[in-house]
Amino acid sequence: MLDLSIKSGIVRAVILLLVIYPLIWVPAQISIEAGDMLGLIGTSQQVEVNFSENTAIDVGAAGADQQWDLSQPLSGSEISTQEFILPGETPFEEAFPSANFAYRITGTTDPDFGEVEIYQFAKIDESGYANLGGGISSSASMFDTSFVSYRAVDVAPLPLAFGTEWMSFESDTFSVENFSMISVDSATNRVDAWGTVTLPGGSFDCLRIRSDNKHIETTLIGGMVIMQNTDNTIEYTWVSKEHFIIAVAESPDGIVDPDFNTAQSFQRVLTAPTTAVSDRPGLARSVNVYPNPFSENINIEINSPLAEPVKLELVNQLGQVINRKELGTSPSGSTRFSWFINSGQLHREKIYFLRIIESSRVNTIKLSRSF
C-alpha cells in the first residue's frame, strides 16, 4: 500500500517513491529474490511524478500476458533522481541501524524548504521487505532542516507469486494537549497481472500489483470525535526486475472502479538505472575499479584534484561490512591502490559493494565475484 495520508505536493511525491513492492515470479516472465533488490544499490534513475489529479490513463485488464501503454505526454510533472545506496552513505545512518537498503531522491524543490533531499530506509532479507522510515534534509537555513520519521511497516513478503494476496495496515497518531489526529491506512494487495508496459523510455516486462486502499482520518478534541473522513482508492503499481517500480497510478478519492481512466496521481520511470551514483553533482571524480568480476585482488584508481584520507569497505548484500582498509591520505591527481581480500572472508555470494570513503564524498561501486 502506498501511504497517501499527507496531501501536500512535495510529501505526496515523496511517499509515492518511499514504499517498495517487490517483484514476483510468473511463468516465463521474471523472478526476483532479496538479492535482486539489493543488487540495485549503486544505480540511479530519473522518475516523473504528476499530481494534476486528472491524468488520462488506460490501466488495462488483470490477468496474464497483458499490454499497457503508459507513454502518453504529460504536462506539469516534477522530475527527480532516485539513487539506490547503502545506508552508510546517508546522514541518517545512525537512526536506522538495522537497515541494509536505502535510496535518495534529489532534484525536488519545495516553496518553503528549498531544495530537498529525501532518504528512505528498508531492511530486506529472504522473508520480505520492511520499510523502516525515512529522513528529509533541505537547503533552507532559517530552521532545523533535518527531519526523521520511523515507520517499521512490513510492506510485502518475499518471495511472492502471481495471484498472491496480502493485507497492509498502518496507524499514526498526532497529539498536542487535548487535540489528537489519528490516521489509519489499510489495503488489500494482489498481484493481479503480468505482461509488457510501454513507457517513454521503452517497453519492459513487468508485473502489476493492485492495492485497494482505505484511509480513515479521525480528529478528536478532549477525547471526543469531532470529525472523521474516509477515502477509498484503487492503486496500480507496475514493477520490473531491472528497473524497480516503473509506474504507479492511483484513482481519485472515492473512485473504486478498477477500470478508472483518470488518475489523481501518476508516476513513471523515465530512464533505466545506471551506475552513476558516484557522479552526483559536486561529487564527480574519476574512479576505476578492476577486475570486475574479482577473485581476491581489487585494484582501485582514483583521479582527484584534492588530497584526502581514503578508507575502503567491502559490503555484502545485507549491508554487512566484510572487510575494511585504511589507506591514509591519497595525493591529488591519479592514485592507484591494490587490495587483497582473503577468500576465506567471502561467502558464496556473487554480489558485493565497494565503498570508497573520503572526507568529501562516498562512492559505491557494485562488484561481482568470480568463482
Question: What local confidence, expressed as pLDDT, does residue 50 receive?
Answer: 92
Question: What local confidence, expressed as pLDDT, does residue 273 receive?
Answer: 62
Question: What local confidence, expressed as pLDDT, does residue 23 receive?
Answer: 41
**C-alpha–C-alpha distance, residues 207 and 97, integer Å:** 32
Question: What local confidence, expressed as pLDDT, does residue 130 receive?
Answer: 86
Question: What local confidence, expressed as pLDDT, does residue 346 receive?
Answer: 78
**C-alpha–C-alpha distance, residues 113 and 261, integer Å:** 34
**C-alpha–C-alpha distance, residues 21 and 239, integer Å:** 7
Question: What local confidence, expressed as pLDDT, does residue 76 receive?
Answer: 85
Question: What local confidence, expressed as pLDDT, does residue 314 receive?
Answer: 86
CA nearest neighbour of 84 among 36, 51, 126:
36
**C-alpha–C-alpha distance, residues 43 and 277, integer Å:** 6
**Does residue 293 have a cis peptide bond before it, meaning omega lies within 30 degrees of 0?**
yes
What tens digit of pLDDT does each residue of 156-215 get?
A: 778 767 888 888 888 888 888 889 999 998 999 998 998 999 999 889 888 899 999 999
Q: Are strands 297-304 and 286-290 parallel, antiparallel or unpaired?
A: antiparallel
Whether 158 and 126 have beta carbons less than 8 Å apart is answered as yes
Tell me the three cell numbers of residue 351: 554480489
Q: Is the dihedral of CA 341, 344, 345, 350 positive or negative?
A: positive
* Residue ranges in the chain whose pLDDT is less than 70: 1-29, 31-32, 108-114, 139-154, 160, 272-286, 318, 359-361, 371
Question: What local confidence, expressed as pLDDT, does residue 119 receive?
Answer: 93
Confidence (pTM)? 0.70
Question: What local confidence, expressed as pLDDT, does residue 315 receive?
Answer: 82
Question: What local confidence, expressed as pLDDT, does residue 278 receive?
Answer: 41
Question: What local confidence, expressed as pLDDT, does residue 295 receive?
Answer: 84
Question: What local confidence, expressed as pLDDT, does residue 120 receive?
Answer: 92
Domains of the chain with bracketed CATH: 9-269 (no CATH), 282-368 (2.60.40.1930)
**C-alpha–C-alpha distance, residues 215 and 238, integer Å:** 22
Cell 531491472 locates to: 242
Question: What local confidence, expressed as pLDDT, does residue 144 receive?
Answer: 47
What tens digit of pLDDT does each residue of 318-360 get?
A: 677 888 888 877 777 778 888 888 777 777 777 888 888 776 6
**Does residue 159 have a cis peptide bond before it, meaning omega lies within 30 degrees of 0?**
yes
Whether 264 and 253 have beta carbons less than 8 Å apart is answered as yes
**Structure letter (DSSP) for residue 251:** P
Whether 120 and 136 have beta carbons less than 8 Å apart is answered as no
